[in-house]
Structure 1
């Protein structure tokens, strides 16, 4: 059976594993899509402004 030190080590391992799992779930479902969507939106706005500047230059 486990001794107390081994039990604490096992609990620490499970805690770190669980935190890592939920962090990856959070990053892949919320942070990365938000980051990509914001970058695309910003790029589209830049393209729109470039077209507007070219039209005004003519």
Structure 2
């Protein structure tokens, strides 16, 4: 079947794939929405400040 070094290589590849999978899930469900939400809020604040400055 497998020799020991092949088994270790398989475990390393599977570990890297699993870490990559969970990192992708974390980025897609938390980091990217947080980043987009924050940037949208900042954009709205900048537009309000520009509008207020233009009125004065």
The alignment yields a C-alpha RMSD, in angstroms, of: 0.4
Moved over 2 A (4+): none
The alpha-carbon deviation at position 8 of structure 1 amounts to 0.1
Q: TM-score when scaled to structure 1? A: 0.94
Identify unmatched segments of 5+ residues in structure 1. Answer: none
Question: Aligned partners of 1:35 and 1:29: how far apart in 2?
Answer: 11
TM-score, normalised to structure 2's length? 0.97
1:35-46 matched pairs, under 5 angstroms: 35-46=35-46
The count of aligned residue pairs is 56
1:54 positional shift: 1.0
Alignment of 1:18-37 (within 5 A): 18-37=18-37
CA offsets 1:30-56 (integer angstroms, 9 cap, x no match) = 000001001000000000001100111
